[in-house]
Every structure is written in structure tokens, then in C-alpha cells.
Structure 1
Amino acid sequence: MSETAIRVEGLAKCYLIARALGRQPYRTLQEEVIALPKNLWKRALGRSDSMETFWALEDVSFEVGEGEVVGIIGRNGAGKSTLLKILSRITQPTRGRAEIYGRIGALLEVGTGFHPELTGRENIFLSGAILGMRRSEIARQFEAIVAFAEVDQFIDTPIKRYSSGMYMRLAFAVAAHLEPEILLVDEVLAVGDAAFQKKCLGKMEDVAGQGRTVFFVSHNTQAVRQLCTRGILLEHGRVAADGSVDSTLAVYNQRLRDMRIDAETGVNNPENRRGSGAVRFSAVSVEDLDGAERYTFGMGDTVRFRLSFTVNAPMRGVAIVVALRSGMSREIVTSVRHVVTERQMNPGTSSTVVIDLPDIYIRPGEYPLYLHVSEASASPKNYDVLDDLTPPLVITPHGRVLHDNFDPARPLGVFSLPSRMTMAEQPADESDLPRIVPSRPHIVR
């Protein structure tokens, strides 16, 4: 049994929030002086502005062993960042205790841990000193940190002049390279380009492979599935699920499915929608062939989309695009386009179409939906887009076998193509072995 790296018992964090209704959150000194007699009178009468308590965390308990890679997932406001701030000793808990066994490297948010007036070089040595490292230990990792962050040209420039991308690259490089026993990473994939995100994931895999403990907070469930072996789901500051990453993500996706695509998560949410308003999706449903609504399918299943739309302005026909995004890079991995009609569509017209994706042979993972409806001529004006809909489409490995050389234990990539092997040249000492005859790959339909 591995040694304990982190033990959390009954952890809770409470914040006080002022409930000053009708009052500006910030006022000038003159305004405060003018309002002082009134505020003192209200306080004497017991009618002063009340304070509301907000529990960011409440009764959180778990234990993490050395070498575990734990993904912390949950919706915005669930308490994920607050938990990491307590574990990294930035914030004190209101109640409970957290025991940390080992040196911590933390990348929480831009602006945490660096002094803006110091240069990149000075901040690297300062961060190492805070971790208790000797100067010689920091110097041994210095070149690797600078190379990873790609800031060698600006390493002697005060970091207050760094861009947010440069700052984040250097912060992650310092956190990952200064040999922490425990690495805490909060939403590192939300900043930076695709190349930086890929580099960060690779480095975290290296750290995990060295037997060190990693805490990874992310909304990117595909990255959590790839990197982590255990998942903890937080809801309203409490632990809602704690187990293998697959089981925890299953609970998380079930919570999203229970919410359905409603005003908060999809069709009526302006944050997920863009377009002209000439045509609008009015309902979205993902179903199996029996018509039952669900969002989890096995490889090789048929996925059915039932889409309703309403025309609000004259349209020259209608076309619909259904696409799946990669949960990792947000790139569209597959899409289909269907012309519903090329006839003139008048305002007030509503219709529902059914689009099937048969034998969907993509790797296990979460795939957010991208839906687009427009004129049949692909007008740049009359269109409606729903992007990154919740819940995502979930593909599990419990479907039909793709082909003979499919390896379900290492589901890398998005698609799995059949392949075949031939021996182009026999080894000299094995010339008497029978030559391998090429054969057609066997695909299970």
C-alpha cells in the first residue's frame, strides 16, 4: 500500500458576502464620509447592511496516496479552486484540516507566486527557495525550465512586462521542473495555444510517471480521462463522487444529462449561441434507434439527432450541420451537412429533422456537440449556431470491436483505422521461418 501524500478531513471554507442592496460596491472617500452618519444610525437601530455566509467548501474528506494522479472536476463554483488554494497553503480553512506529506508545486492562476518587479531568472530562484530547494538544485533545473517556457530571450526582463502566455508558460515550467512531490494544477489548459496545452499534458504525464502525486483541475473531461487514474467530483462545495476516473466522469455526465439541454446549458443560453436570429434551433435531442433519449453510446452504435428549428425571416432553403468536437483541442473531428429543403421558407415555419450517424467508429471519450442551421446557400447572414452543448456525447469502449488490431487498453487518437502488417525482410538468422502472407483486415460490422 502506498504512503499517504494528502489527507483531508472535514475541510470547510466560509466567506462573508455583504448584502448591501441598492448600494454601489465601491464608493469614494467623500461618499463614505457623507454616508457615515446614516450608516451609524442604521447600525444603532439594528438595520445595518447584513452579511451573508457562503460556504465554498463544506465537509470535504478524502485521502490520496503517493503517485496517484487525481482529477478534480465539477461545474463553475463547485469549490475546485478553493480546495487547491487550501492545499497549497494560500488560503486557511474555516474548519477541518489538511495534512500534506511532501513538497508542493502549484500552478493555480496567472499572478500567483511570482513577484512582478523581479526578472524571470530571479523568480525561478525565489520559487525554488520557497520550496526549500538549495541554489545548486535550482541551477540544475534552470536551463530545462527556460527551454520549456520558451522565454530565454526575456529571462532577465521583469515579468510585469511578460504577456499572459509567457507568464503562464514560465509558471508551469517552474511548478513542474522544481521536483515537487505533489503537483497542483488548476485549469492550465484554459490558457495558451494547442502546442502549449499538449506540452503541459506531456509534462504532467512525465511527472506522474515518476511516481509523484498530481492534482489536476480542469473542465476538459477528455484531458482528465487521458491523464488521471482517479476522479473526485465536487458539487456545491461537497464531494459528490470519488472513485476511478471513468466512474466519476460517468456520474458527472449523468448530472449533466439530468439537467438536459435547458435555458442554463444549451438551446436558450446566449453564451452557447451565435447567429442572426433569422432561424433558430428550438429543440435538440440525442437518441438511440428506439427513440430513447441518451448521450452515452458504445463504439459502433448508431447515434440519432432529433433537431427542431423555427424560421423567423424569409430563408432560401435550409441546411443543417451536425458536428462533434474533440474534448481535448476543441477541434471538429467529424461533421455532416444535410440540405433540408431548397424551397423558400416563410417566417413562422417550424420543422423537425432526424439525422443518424450510423456505426460511429470513434474512440472512447466525450465529444461536445456543434450544431449549425442556415440557408441552403450557406448565407453568411441567416444562420444559427449552438456550440459546446451540454451534456456532451459520450462514447464508451463497450461496443462492437472495431477491428482485429484495435487496442482498447490504449485508446489514443480519435479514429481507429484498420491496418495490416507484412514482413518486408526476414531476419538473417530466421530465414527458415515461414513468410507472413498479407491478409485483409477483419472488420466486424
Structure 2
Amino acid sequence: MSRKVIEFDNVGKQYVLGTIGTGTLSQDLNRWWARIRGKEDPFLKIGEVNDRTKKGESNFVWALKDINFSVDEGDVVGIIGKNGAGKSTLLKILSRVTSPTVGTIKVKGRIASLLEVGTGFHPEMTGRENIYMNGTIMGMTKTEIDRKLDEIVDFAGVEKYLDTPVKRYSSGMMVRLGFAIAAHLEPEILVVDEVLAVGDAEFQKKAIGKMQDVSKGEGRTVLFVSHNMAAVKSLCKTGVVLKNGQVAFTGNIDDSIQSYLSSGISNHEGKIIDHITKLKPTIKITDIQINDTTNYYSTIHSGQDLLKIKVEGTTEEVLHADLMAFFKTKDHIPMATLAEGHYKGMISTYPLGKFVIEKTIKLPKFISCGDYYISLCMHHPMVEGLMDAVDCAQIHVEGYQEGFGRVLHLRDEGFMGLETI
């Protein structure tokens, strides 16, 4: 029978927006009076779920609410959800950076956490001194840290800067050293937030390999937060999906990822133009079409060999621009990029007033049946970004020609080597 090493029991974390305390002296006195009488905090009965996209009527927000789940010894759990879902707050409570407003957490074993760049480091101390300080905080003896020091330094790749104050480290160097300390000082529970995204590709591969060794080879427990679904899928066995501060789904990692991605589809109904995340003030976008439709969801039918993208708008200054398109699988694995401004120098100039940018992509001869996400970027290469529309459209591909509808291996499927006609 597996042993429970982490148990969340009705855990909640409430914050007050824009103020310290509850906002008024009378409310603070009411809270204090209830506490000394052993009564429940009266402000725990109010508040809204944490939906950052909508303005609420209350200043009391539940960053986490009614969190109930447990983690078995040796399990690798992926904590996934959109930005603002409560993932980092959950890990901060688990790591005792902050305390829950309500509920309890039972933990069996030492926890090593890597939450944010520079967390746990003293900027004036050297890398070597920070290794010893972090190890001591975790309960390690000097002899134990001495034995692990060379291994930590080698993994982090910062030997040249070991006796330099960490305030002079880059963010990537800090992450490398922080992860190396957390993973090598033998905690029973390793907690890793999204910070690995700061590291380069080589380090991310090493870090994921180390976490696999920690969980499979050494039988320790890992909690991993990431927006990289490919990394989550390769590393984790089970998943917890958070939405607006509440647990939306728990289960095996494949089902958890599917639950997370399918919830995104329902949130992305509507028009492509609604998903512009960045736009230069002198530009106004009036219409975006993919596949001759403005709708977020569309289909590439069998036999279709072209994909059309059109962006219309107005500009208050002469525009030098190209349109990039990024294609990803449903697991958000990058599959292809259209970037003729970068690799062909194809930059167009548009005068003041209305403009239309059109791209007609020749599709590969074979495309596997499946769903793909498209992101668009309008830019002047190496000069400035003009518009970003991240995951602005989802395309279902029916598959066509030979092997119609057949799901291919990952190395064979998807869009590759795109060019316009």
C-alpha cells in the first residue's frame, strides 16, 4: 500500500485586492475580535473565485479554495492550469513561504523548493556560500554538503563563478544553481515551479532527466508546474488541473492534459481577432481570417492543399512588416514556423491608412489527422514587434490523400518546411 506524503485538506488562501489588512479599521477590528474569541473569521464567508479576466464586485478573492487531494510517496505530479489559476500559490503554501487562510496540509519528509528565480539566495553571498546556507536550512550537515558540492557545481555549470556573489549571476545561472541545490541535497519531496523555462534547452533536458532519476531511481516525490505539456507528459504520472483557484480535475497525466486543453477550447470560442495579446498603438486590426473564416475554430478538409491567412487593419504611420505563423500540436509541441521575413528578407511596406497582409501557405503532401494551434505575429524582423495573437486559432485536420486519417508518429506528423506560393 502506497504511503501518503502530502495531504491537502480543504485548503484555501484569501487575499484582499489593493489594500493591506481588510481595507478599513472596523473590518480589521471585527477580524481581530473574532479571532480572540475563537470564532471563525467573518470575512472567510465572502469573496469571489480568482478569475483574473473579469472585474468582480468584491475586494476579497480566493486565490485557492476547497483544495483537496493527496500525493503518494514516489509519485511525480504535474500541476497544470492557466496563468492565475493558483499553481504558484499552491506551491508556496506547500513550501511554507506563506500560510493557508483555511485548511491544513500534512507533509511527511523534507521539502526542497525552486519557486522563482533567486528564491532562497542571498544576493551578497557567493554561490558556494549559498549552497552551504541552503543545505543547512534543509537540515544537512557540513560533511553531507561537502560530499555533494562537486556534483552540484558540475550539474549547474557555474564553477567559474562559484566564489562570485550571486547578484552578478544571470537569471539562467541562478536557476541552474538553484535547481542543482534543490535536486542534489536529497529532499524527500522536490517542488519545481515554471522557472525551468528560464534555462536553455540543454539545461532543461538535464533538469528533466534529473527529476526522472529522483523519482524513478531514488523513489522521491516530485511536484512539477509547467506550461510545457510535452515536458509534463514525459515526466509526470498523475496530474492536478487548477482553474480559478479550484481543483478542476485529478487523474493520470494523459487525462489531466486532455482536460486542461479541452477546457481551453471552450474558453477560445469566438473570433480570431479576440485573441490579440499585443498591438502597437499606431495600428488598429479590423479583421483576421484563417481558412476564409474569422472564427476561432476551423477545419482543413481532406484534399485541401492551401491555407490562407489574411490580416486587415489601419496604420497611422508607414508600416514595414511581415506576418509570422507558428503551428503547434494539441500538446503545444512546436511543429512549424512560417517566417519569410526572417529567412528570406521578405518585408512589405504599407502606407498610411488601410492595409491588408495575406499569406497563402502550400500545405505538405501529408498531414496527420488531429488538432493544431496557430499563433500569429506581425513584426519588422529584428526591429520591433507590431502584433501578437497567441493561440488565436485552432484547426482540425481531417487528413487527406494517402493514409487518410491515419495518425502518424510524432516525428512524421504535422506541418513542416512551409513556404508561400
Q: State the Cα distance separating 1:227 from its structure 2 match.
A: 1.9
Q: State the Cα distance separating 1:64 from its structure 2 match.
A: 1.0
1:64-106 alpha-carbon deviations (Å, 9 max, x no partner): 1122111111122211111001111111111111111222110
Pair 1:334–1:112, CA change in 2 (3 A)? closer
Pair 1:132–1:336, CA change in 2 (3 A)? closer
1:344-365 alpha-carbon deviations (Å, 9 max, x no partner): 999658799886846655798x
Q: Is the CA contact 1:223–1:327 (under 8 Å) kept in the aligned structure 2?
A: no
1: distance between equivalents of 2:136 and 2:71? 26
Task: Determine the structure 2 residue equivalent to 1:369.
Answer: 374
Aligned residues: 373
Task: Determine the structure 2 residue equivalent to 1:267.
Answer: 273
* AA of the residue aligned to 2:245: G
Q: Is the CA contact 2:296–2:393 (under 8 Å) kept in the aligned structure 1?
A: no
Q: State the Cα distance separating 1:62 from its structure 2 match.
A: 0.5
Listed as ranges, the matches of 1:175-190 within 5 Å are 175-190=182-197
Pair 1:8–1:285, CA change in 2 (3 A)? farther
Q: Which has the larger radius of gyration?
A: 1
Q: State the Cα distance separating 1:9 from its structure 2 match.
A: 1.0
Pair 1:361–1:213, CA change in 2 (3 A)? farther
Q: State the Cα distance separating 1:322 from its structure 2 match.
A: 4.0
Q: Which of residues 222, 247, 256 is equivalent to 2:255?
A: 247
* AA of the residue aligned to 1:215: L
Listed as ranges, the matches of 1:302-317 within 5 Å are 307-312=309-314
1:280-326 alpha-carbon deviations (Å, 9 max, x no partner): 472355799xx9975899xx99798664532536999x996643158
Q: Is the CA contact 1:80–1:234 (under 8 Å) kept in the aligned structure 2?
A: yes
Question: Is 2:11 the counterpart of 1:5?
Answer: no
Listed as ranges, the matches of 1:311-350 within 5 Å are 311-312=313-314, 322-325=325-328, 333-335=336-338
Q: State the Cα distance separating 1:134 from its structure 2 match.
A: 2.6
2: distance between equivalents of 1:390 and 1:212? 39
Question: Is 2:212 the counterpart of 1:205?
Answer: yes
Task: Determine the structure 2 residue equivalent to 1:164.
Answer: 171
1:20-69 alpha-carbon deviations (Å, 9 max, x no partner): 9xxxx9xxxxxxxxxxxxx99xx9xxxxxxx9322111110101112211
Task: Determine the structure 1 residue equivalent to 2:391.
Answer: 389
2: distance between equivalents of 1:327 and 1:5? 33
- In structure 2, the residue corresponding to 1:110 is in which secondary structure? coil
1: distance between equivalents of 2:111 and 2:96? 10
2: distance between equivalents of 1:315 and 1:205? 52
Q: Is the CA contact 1:281–1:373 (under 8 Å) kept in the aligned structure 2?
A: no
Task: Determine the structure 2 residue equivalent to 1:215.
Answer: 223
Q: Is the CA contact 2:275–2:389 (under 8 Å) kept in the aligned structure 1?
A: no
Identity %: 39
* AA of the residue aligned to 2:376: L
Pair 1:176–1:359, CA change in 2 (3 A)? farther
Pair 1:114–1:154, CA change in 2 (3 A)? same
Pair 1:158–1:292, CA change in 2 (3 A)? closer
2: distance between equivalents of 1:229 and 1:79? 21
Q: State the Cα distance separating 1:173 from its structure 2 match.
A: 0.8
Task: Determine the structure 2 residue equivalent to 1:82.
Answer: 89
- In structure 2, the residue corresponding to 1:77 is in which secondary structure? coil
Pair 1:412–1:228, CA change in 2 (3 A)? farther
Listed as ranges, the matches of 1:47-86 within 5 Å are 52-86=59-93
2: distance between equivalents of 1:217 and 1:67? 17
Answer with 236-245 or 386-395: which moved more: 386-395
1:241-275 alpha-carbon deviations (Å, 9 max, x no partner): 11122222222222221222668xx6345534569
1: distance between equivalents of 2:163 and 2:279? 44
Q: Which of residues 103, 110, 117 is equivalent to 1:110?
A: 117
For structure 1, which runs of at least 5 residues remain unmatched after alignment? 26-38, 44-50, 418-445
1:199-239 alpha-carbon deviations (Å, 9 max, x no partner): 32222222232222111111222222222222211111100
Task: Determine the structure 2 residue equivalent to 1:229.
Answer: 237
- In structure 2, the residue corresponding to 1:250 is in which secondary structure? helix
Task: Determine the structure 2 residue equivalent to 1:433.
Answer: none
Q: Is the CA contact 1:71–1:218 (under 8 Å) kept in the aligned structure 2?
A: yes
* AA of the residue aligned to 1:271: T
Question: Is 2:25 the counterpart of 1:17?
Answer: no
2: distance between equivalents of 1:242 and 1:303? 40
* AA of the residue aligned to 1:237: G
Task: Determine the structure 2 residue equivalent to 1:96.
Answer: 103
Normalised by the size of structure 1, how large is the TM-score?
A: 0.67
Q: Is the CA contact 1:362–1:416 (under 8 Å) kept in the aligned structure 2?
A: no
Task: Determine the structure 2 residue equivalent to 1:282.
Answer: 287
Q: Is the CA contact 2:65–2:245 (under 8 Å) kept in the aligned structure 1?
A: yes
| C-alpha RMSD of matched pairs (Å) | 4.9
Pair 1:155–1:362, CA change in 2 (3 A)? farther
1: distance between equivalents of 2:395 and 2:144? 46
Q: Is the CA contact 1:257–1:391 (under 8 Å) kept in the aligned structure 2?
A: no
Answer with 3-12 or 327-336: which moved more: 327-336
Q: State the Cα distance separating 1:412 from its structure 2 match.
A: 6.9
Q: State the Cα distance separating 1:136 from its structure 2 match.
A: 2.2
Q: Is the CA contact 1:301–1:360 (under 8 Å) kept in the aligned structure 2?
A: no
- In structure 2, the residue corresponding to 1:148 is in which secondary structure? helix
Q: Is the CA contact 2:230–2:332 (under 8 Å) kept in the aligned structure 1?
A: no
